[in-house]
C-alpha cells in the first residue's frame, strides 16, 4: 500500500483529484467507483474545476457508487443519490445512463444487489475505486466482521456508524438502520483503489488499516492485499503511524513517471 501524507486536507484532496483526472485523460471510458460523505467533497470540487476550466471530459466515464441507504428515495436530502447529484454529477458531463447508484427503494433487494454486481461486470470492472475509512475501519458500509470476500448486499449498520452519521440527520433516530453496499470482495476486484482519510478521529483506523493485521474486525486492512492501493491522508490522520518517516521518504523519492 502506498501511503501519501499531505500537509493538509486540501493538498491531499488535490493530489487525489489529479490521480483521478490522469486516469480519465489516459482512459476516457474509465469506470470509476465513487464514494460519498464529507471526505471526498474537495476531490469532487477539484474534478469539477478541471472539467470547467481545464477541458477534463467525462462524457465517456461510467460510475458505480459504493452504497446507499435503504428506505431513502433518490431525492431525499440525505440520500447518497442526492449527494452525488448536488456535489458532482450536476456539474460535470457524465451521461445519466452511465451513472449507477444502488436503489434504496428496490422492491427485491437481493435481486437488485445481484443485478448491481452484474452491471459492474458488464462494464468491464472498476478501474479506480474511491474509498473513505470509517472510524472503526469500515470501507463502504462493510462494518467490522464483514466477510472479506463479500459482494454487494444488504447490511445492518453498527451503533457507532449510526452515531457517526447522525450529524447529517435531525436526530440519530432518523438514520436508516440498513444500507446496500458493495462488498469487500467487490472492492478488491477494482484495478486500483484510492483511499482518503482526514483528521485525528481517523488516526487509529488509519494505523490499524496500514500497519495492523489483516482482519475482518478492520475491513479496510484487507487493502494491504491489493496490488495497487494508494492512501492519501493529512497530518492528523497520520499521527499514529509508526513508519510515517518511511512513507514520506518513499513518496518524496518516487520517479517522475509514477506521479500523476
Q: What is the pLDDT of residue 172?
A: 85
CA nearest to 88, candidates 120, 47, 129: 47
pTM for the model stands at 0.94
One pLDDT digit (tens) per residue for the chain, 260 residues:
999 999 999 999 999 999 999 999 999 999 999 999 899 999 999 999 999 999 999 999 999 999 999 999 999 999 999 999 999 999 999 999 999 999 999 999 999 999 999 999 999 999 999 999 999 999 999 999 999 999 999 999 888 888 888 888 888 889 999 999 999 999 999 999 999 999 999 999 999 999 999 999 999 999 999 999 999 999 999 999 999 999 999 999 988 877 77
CA nearest to 88, candidates 49, 134, 129: 49
The tally of domains found in the chain comes to 1
Burial class (CB in 10 A: 0-12, 13-18, 19+), 96: exposed
Domain membership of residue 91 as a residue range:
2-258
Using an 8 Å Cβ cutoff, are 20 and 47 in contact?
A: yes
| Residue 174 among the catalytic residues | no
Identified catalytic residue from 68, 136, 164, 234: 136
Look up the CATH number of the domain holding residue 130: 3.40.50.1360
Cα Dmax for the chain: 52
Identified catalytic residue from 103, 143, 164, 234: 143
| Residue 138 among the catalytic residues | yes
Identified catalytic residue from 68, 103, 127, 138: 138
Identified catalytic residue from 15, 51, 67, 127: 67
Using an 8 Å Cβ cutoff, are 107 and 171 in contact?
A: no
| Residue 2 among the catalytic residues | no
Q: What is the pLDDT of residue 79?
A: 96
Distance CA 181, CA 199 (A): 24
Amino acid at each position: 500500500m502506498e501511503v501519501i501524507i499531505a500537509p493538509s486536507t486540501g493538498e491531499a484532496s488535490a493530489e487525489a483529484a489529479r490521480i483521478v483526472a490522469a486516469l480519465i485523460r489516459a482512459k476516457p471510458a474509465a469506470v470509476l467507483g465513487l464514494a460519498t460523505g464529507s471526505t471526498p467533497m474537495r476531490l469532487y470540487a477539484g474534478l469539477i474545476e478541471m472539467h470547467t476550466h481545464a477541458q477534463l471530459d467525462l462524457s465517456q466515464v461510467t460510475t458505480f457508487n459504493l452504497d446507499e441507504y435503504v428506505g431513502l428515495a433518490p431525492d431525499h436530502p440525505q440520500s447518497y443519490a442526492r449527494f452525488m447529484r448536488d456535489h458532482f454529477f450536476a456539474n460535470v458531463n457524465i451521461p445519466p445512463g452511465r451513472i449507477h447508484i444502488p436503489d434504496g427503494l428496490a422492491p427485491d433487494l437481493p435481486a437488485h444487489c445481484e443485478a448491481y454486481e452484474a452491471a459492474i461486470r458488464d462494464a468491464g470492472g472498476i478501474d479506480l475505486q474511491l474509498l473513505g475509512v470509517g472510524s472503526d475501519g469500515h470501507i463502504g458500509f462493510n462494518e467490522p466482521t464483514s466477510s472479506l470476500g463479500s459482494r454487494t448486499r444488504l447490511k445492518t449498520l453498527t451503533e457507532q456508524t449510526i452515531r457517526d452519521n447522525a450529524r447529517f440527520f435531525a436526530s440519530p433516530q432518523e438514520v436508516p438502520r440498513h444500507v446496500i453496499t458493495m462488498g469487500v470482495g467487490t472492492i478488491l476486484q477494482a484495478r486500483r483503489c484510492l483511499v482518503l482519510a482526514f483528521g485525528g478521529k481517523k488516526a487509529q483506523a488509519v494505523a490499524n488499516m496500514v500497519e495492523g493485521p489483516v482482519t475482518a474486525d478492520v475491513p479496510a486492512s484487507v487493502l494491504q492485499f491489493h496490488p495497487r492501493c494508494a492512501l492519501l491522508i493529512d497530518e492528523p490522520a497520520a499521527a499514529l503511524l509508526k513508519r510515517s518517516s518511511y512513507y514520506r521518504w518513499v513518496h518524496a523519492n518516487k520517479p517522475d513517471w509514477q506521479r500523476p
